[in-house]
Amino acid sequence: MKQLLTILSITSFFTLLSLSAYNQDTTVTQQVSTSSNTAKSNDFTVNSTSNEAVTAFNEGLHWSDIGDDKKARTFLQTAIDRDANLAVAYMYKALAQPTFEGYATALQQAKEHLATAGDWDKLFYTLLETRLTDDVAKRMATAQEMVTKFPNIARSYHELGNAYSDRDEIDKARTAYMKAIELSPSWISGHYDIAQSYLNRDPKDLKQAETHAQHAVSLAPTSASPNILLGDVYRAQSQWDKAAACYSKAIQLDPKMPTAYIKRGHVNNFAGKYDEARKDYKLANEYDEEAPMSAMPYIAYTYAYQGQLPQAIKMLQDEATKLGSSTTKGKTDLQFGLLQSAAYMAFHNMDAKSLNAVVDQWEPVYKELAQKVGTDEMSRYQQAEMLYWRGLADVLNGNYDKAKANAEEIKKTVDPISNPHKLDNYHSLLGQIAFHKKEYKQAVTEFDQTNPTDTYAKYWRAKAYEKAGQKDKAKMLYKELANYNFNDIGNALVRTEVKKNTMGK
């Protein structure tokens, strides 16, 4: 599931639902006691009525830690088949799911068996549940309770680091991740955590990221996922040949891992080899048994990079329509990602008619997904998201008062949610209103309150700075965008423009 979430790069709610682009726990040593049917997994105890269940769980956890969700699901399901009351197996099965619906279903199954779960397991369940309610405050409180009650378990500090990261307290997150490494130096997830933090969050330190990614590779040299992480670090540094070599190594180690093909496709994409990129993305779809359309947005992105937005929008809408009448597993999740990408493209193309058509197609998909997840918070996000995109269409049509009303309704809708980023779209919409009304100082004020890690939000922040006369700030942001080597919808829309504008500056 975590890889799918990163691929689709959808709402902040779903981004928070994902813990990372990779599985972030670690390899464990199986220690099965035939007398007590108990095993220790990175220092938290797994209790079961079945030795076979414990053995299968540890094997599933091993593959989850290494980054192979497909194998993890197989062994975790075996553990459940051997002991249907093993709640923690459902929890890790949830994390290995490629769809939100699968995540919610597995977590509900875990809840049904919590009565016999251990104390660490129950806290872990509460943490996972906050990914459905998006309650960042509860997530932090639970993670702090976890490290207080289980201070010698590296996984506890992994969760604390994630909670701090969700609150944008990056220094504290890194301290927690390093504590996990201190407790368990050979635990690969500790190195994944800190590498990804230095890679993706400011202040970035790509050399530190490289050191920990290399350590992860050394801990699991025959696994594909650490090589993918190291490839990402090289890609961030524009070391394209090294990045491609890492992704190709991952493919050699696991020829049917979709993510490796997607990542290699990104290298070809940024090199302007769009046909080669599309070949890799199509291979990813071919090998992705659980979500066989997960790379489709990237195929559309190749046309966006080439400036062919109408063609890309049509492709995304057509594929979403085909999925609607198919029996593809997780199709609602996939439709969501396709149509959100199409919405971004329509807005960037300043095409209000096309944007409204996309939102008309997207709204029932989002409603269905919200119903499947079944939380009040999810329903509120769905309502707020639709208000946001309708408001953007109003902005394009010059209906600023109507767009402002939508913004205020967004604020009211998400008010009960405990997440520091719940007002990102509210400020983004107000920023667009101000920008299009040529009230550039006000636009800066609003865009400064949007998510600093969002590529497309950063682009509009730079444009507002430029128009408001803050040339140095604009130049800094444009430079960051020009050197951003990761493939999301924002980069697909702005990379060509910002590369051209920063050339020679």
| pTM check: above 0.85 | yes
Q: Do residues 431 and 423 lie in contact, with contact meaning Cβ atoms separated by under 8 Å? A: no
User: Which tokens sit at 500?
Assistant: 């051209």
Cα end-to-end distance, the chain, whole Å: 41
Residue from 16, 37, 40, 15 nearest 29 by CA: 40
DSSP 3-state of 79: helix
- 386 falls in which pLDDT band (50, 70, 90)? very high
Residues 121-132 have pLDDT tens digits of: 999 999 999 999
Is residue 86 in some structural domain? yes
Residue from 169, 168, 203, 165 nearest 192 by CA: 165
Structural domain of 15: 1-21+46-134
Task: Give whichever of 39-48, 96-105, 106-115 has the largest mean pLDDT.
Answer: 106-115
Asked if residue 291 has pLDDT above 90, the reply is no
Residue from 186, 220, 217, 214 nearest 198 by CA: 214
Q: Do residues 23 and 220 lie in contact, with contact meaning Cβ atoms separated by under 8 Å? A: no
Instruction: Report the share of the chain in percent with pLDDT over 90.
Output: 81
Is residue 109 in some structural domain? yes
Is residue 182 in some structural domain? no
Integer Cα distance of 170 and 225 in angstroms: 24
DSSP assignments along 278-304, one per residue: HHHHHHHHHH-SSSTTTTHHHHHHHHH
Integer Cα distance of 417 and 295 in angstroms: 31
Asked if residue 14 has pLDDT above 50, the reply is no
Is residue 77 in some structural domain? yes
Per-residue model confidence (pLDDT) at position 43: 59
Asked if residue 301 has pLDDT above 70, the reply is yes
Domain count across the chain:
1
Is residue 466 in some structural domain? no
Is residue 60 in some structural domain? yes
Is residue 240 in some structural domain? no
DSSP assignments along 137-155, one per residue: HHHHHHHHHHHHH-TT-HH
CATH code at position 15: 1.25.40.10
Alpha helices, DSSP H only, in 9-99? 12-17, 51-66, 69-82, 87-95
Residues 333-367 have pLDDT tens digits of: 899 999 999 999 999 999 999 999 999 999 999 99
Alpha helices, DSSP H only, in 349-470? 352-373, 376-396, 400-414, 424-436, 440-447, 455-467
Asked if residue 27 has pLDDT above 90, the reply is no
Asked if residue 456 has pLDDT above 70, the reply is yes
Query: What stretch of H or E contains 166?
Result: helix 154-166
Integer Cα distance of 393 and 39 in angstroms: 56
Is residue 215 in some structural domain? no
Integer Cα distance of 154 and 149 in angstroms: 12
